Amino acid sequence: MAHPKRKHSHARTCKKRSHQKVSSPALLKCSQCKRLKPKNMVCPFCGYYKNKEVITIEQKQDKKKKGRT
C-alpha cells in the first residue's frame, strides 16, 4: 500500500474535516395546524399529509389529581 511521504498539517486536516458536520432536519409548517413537522411525513399533531387526513389523532385526556382535595 502507498504511504504518505510527509505528515499532513493540522490546518489541512481541519479543512478536510470541515465538511463532515451534522445538518439539522428540514422542518416545514403544517398546512392545517401551522406547527413545525418533519418534511415528507404525516403531521404528528393533526394527522394530515398534503391537505388530506391520513390518520386520526386522539387527544390526550388530563390525568386526575390523586390525593389532593
In a domain, 29, yes or no: yes
Would you place residue 65 in the very low, low, confident or very high pLDDT band (cuts 50, 70, 90)? low
Give the predicted TM-score (pTM) of the model.
0.52
Has residue 42 been placed in a domain?
A: yes
pLDDT higher than 70, residue 34: yes
- Does residue 41 form part of some domain? yes
Q: Are 38 and 27 in contact (CB under 8 A)?
A: yes
Q: Which three cell numbers stand for residue 59?
A: 387527544
- Pull the grid cell for residue 50: 398534503
Dist CA 45 CA 61 (whole Å): 15
Which structural domain, as residue segments, surrounds residue 35?
25-60
**Total domains, the chain:** 1
CA-CA distance, 20 to 3, in Å (whole number)?
24
Is residue 30 in a domain? yes
Segment 52-68 mean pLDDT:
73
Judge contact between 54 and 42, C-beta under 8 A. Answer: yes
Q: What is the pLDDT of residue 55?
A: 87
